[in-house]
């Protein structure tokens, strides 16, 4: 069966443009506002939504996403509430792919079997679990794939040709290429190096390759999108949410995110024109 993620990338391939993949943290700045933000993303131009699962020790995340997770936890967000957010989102949107991104600890505590079952029931399409290497596929990756969830793996600038087959073995949906070494939001990617890295990965797989870490502007999205199947933006969005809290959050938070996403959407559509 074709998943929403696979269907979305097939559609975008026909259109000849990269995907705009947006990351926000579930429950940031609070559950109700987070739901409103996620509901507004597709109309603003997001093609795929990554939803962060708040965790108290997010070792791969930079300060912006760390603070977003802590805001969410302080506001009472839990993995159960995150799944309910997806359920509520699905009441009005049956097509936009939703990917849960985060760390294994909250899933382990929830119970892998129960989590996979509940994630599917809520309308989740895929998982990115950054601290589970291929050597631990039995823990979550294989049960998720068996159930029909895509399992998206990260490749980095240090993932060489010897390691890449292991990384790609049970990956599905797309490959997430981390464009810089280090934590999220720490630097801007080099478009030339990114394009070469994407080409190298594509020699090993037919899956789409999306590029994230460090993309903040429409210009960067266009530049990266010329050499990739998708552009992932996260830190810029969660930073906008943080800034909006000085204006009271709520409507200000929703507008802060959607304004940036609209600009980024123009960028990825410019990338399409550059490819033509």
**Active-site annotation, residues:** 50, 61
Query: Phi then psi for 212, rounded to 5 degrees?
Result: -135, 180
Distance CA 212, CA 227 (A): 13
Three-state SS letters, the chain: CCCHHHHHHHHHHHHCCCEEEEEEECCCCCHHHHHHHHHHHHHHCCCEEEEECCCCCCCCCCHHHHHHHHHHHHCCCCHHHHHHHHHHHHCCCCCCCEEEEECHHHHHHHCHHHHHHHHHHHCCCEEEECCCCHHHCCCCHHHHHHHCCEECEEECCCCCCCCHHHHHCCCCCCEEEECCCCCCCCCCCCHHHHHHHHHHHHCCCCCCEEEECCCCCHHHHHHHHCCCCEEEECHHHHHHHHHHHHHCCCHHHHHHHHHHHHHHHHHHHHHHHHHC
DSSP lists the bridge partners of residue 232 as 21
């Amino acid at each position: 069966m074709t998943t929403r993620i696979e269907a979305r990338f097939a559609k975008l391939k026909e259109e000849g443009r990269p995907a705009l993949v947006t990351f926000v943290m579930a429950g940031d700045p609070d559950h109700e506002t987070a739901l409103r933000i996620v509901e507004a993303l597709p109309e603003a131009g997001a093609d795929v939504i990554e939803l962060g699962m708040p965790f108290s020790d997010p070792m791969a995340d930079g300060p912006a996403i760390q603070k977003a997770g802590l805001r969410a936890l302080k506001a009472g967000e839990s993995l159960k509430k995150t799944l309910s957010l997806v359920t509520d989102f699905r009441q009005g949107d049956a097509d936009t792919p939703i990917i849960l991104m985060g760390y294994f600890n909250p899933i382990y505590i929830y119970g892998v079997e129960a989590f996979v079952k509940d994630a599917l029931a809520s309308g989740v399409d895929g998982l990115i679990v950054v601290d589970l290497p291929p050597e631990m596929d039995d823990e979550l990756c294989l049960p998720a794939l068996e159930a029909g969830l895509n399992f998206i793996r990260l490749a980095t600038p240090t993932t060489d040709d010897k390691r890449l087959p292991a990384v790609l073995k049970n990956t599905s949906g797309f490959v997430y290429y981390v464009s810089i070494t280090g934590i999220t939001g720490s630097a801007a990617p080099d478009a030339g190096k990114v394009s070469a890295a994407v080409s190298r990965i594509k020699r090993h797989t037919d899956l789409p390759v999306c590029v994230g870490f460090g993309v903040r502007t429409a210009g960067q999205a266009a530049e990266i999108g010329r050499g990739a199947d998708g552009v992932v933006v996260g830190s810029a969005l969660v930073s906008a949410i943080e800034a909006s809290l000085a204006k009271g959050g709520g409507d200000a938070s929703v507008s802060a995110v959607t304004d940036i996403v609209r600009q980024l959407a123009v960028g990825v559509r410019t990338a399409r024109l550059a490819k033509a």
